[in-house]
Structure 1
Amino acid sequence: MDAFKKSAIWTGVVLTALCGIVLLGGGKIVSGTLLIATTFLMVSPLWRHKTPRWARVGLLCLVFGLVIWNISTTDLPGDSDMSTGMVTACPPPDVDIFARTGVRFVDQAAHILSAFLDQAQLS
């Protein structure tokens, strides 16, 4: 059981760090930085031995709640930008790789992932 607990904890740490990296690359700087800082805090020996368990769980819930809130404030690109009658000199690149699902939060997360994948492409 101890090996399962350790592997579950390290899997959570790695997934938290990867989500932070994706958010940083997708343009959500505050959320990505917050998740990376939380990852460093999670692997710190002071975190495991000095703080009570309820404080650790509460802090993690607070951090993930803030990150979810920040993702939910992402503006999705409109279906057509020609409604205002203005033409831009350089239109933004089309980074929507994934089709819209109709669920706003899932579409926002997919838009951030698309922006990350667009940044990660080889030029």
Structure 2
Amino acid sequence: MAPLDLLRRLTANGIELRARGAELSFKAPAGALDAVTVESIRQLKPDLLRLLDGSTCRWCGLPMARRGTPAVSLADGTSLHGECRTDFDIDRIERAAKRGLSSTLTADPAEVVVRGELDAIEREFSR
């Protein structure tokens, strides 16, 4: 697995990975880290450290120094090339939207219809 793919998978599963010097630390929901994932982290540790210390773009995987555009630093210590920011944000928003959709809500058409009607009523009153 490529380091970027692993980092994206960890993030999607609610696992927060950080660089602490030459070591990695993480916060994860109970049961989120299985033996296969831990082994992948061990094998890709040098590459993950480069992603997490900001010297490699979190989106495209290229070294930050290779492009002439301004870098964007993220709260977790990773960096993005300026031109990679939009794609990164779109991906992040799409993942958040998918997590926000309850399977019970989308499984019941009546719930979806009522929500749509409430949105229309709310728009009508906000004029």
Q: Could you state the TM-score of these two structures normalised by the residue count of structure 1?
A: 0.28
Higher RCO (C-alpha 8 Å, min separation 6):
1
Q: Could you state the TM-score of these two structures normalised by the residue count of structure 2?
A: 0.27
More helix by share: 1
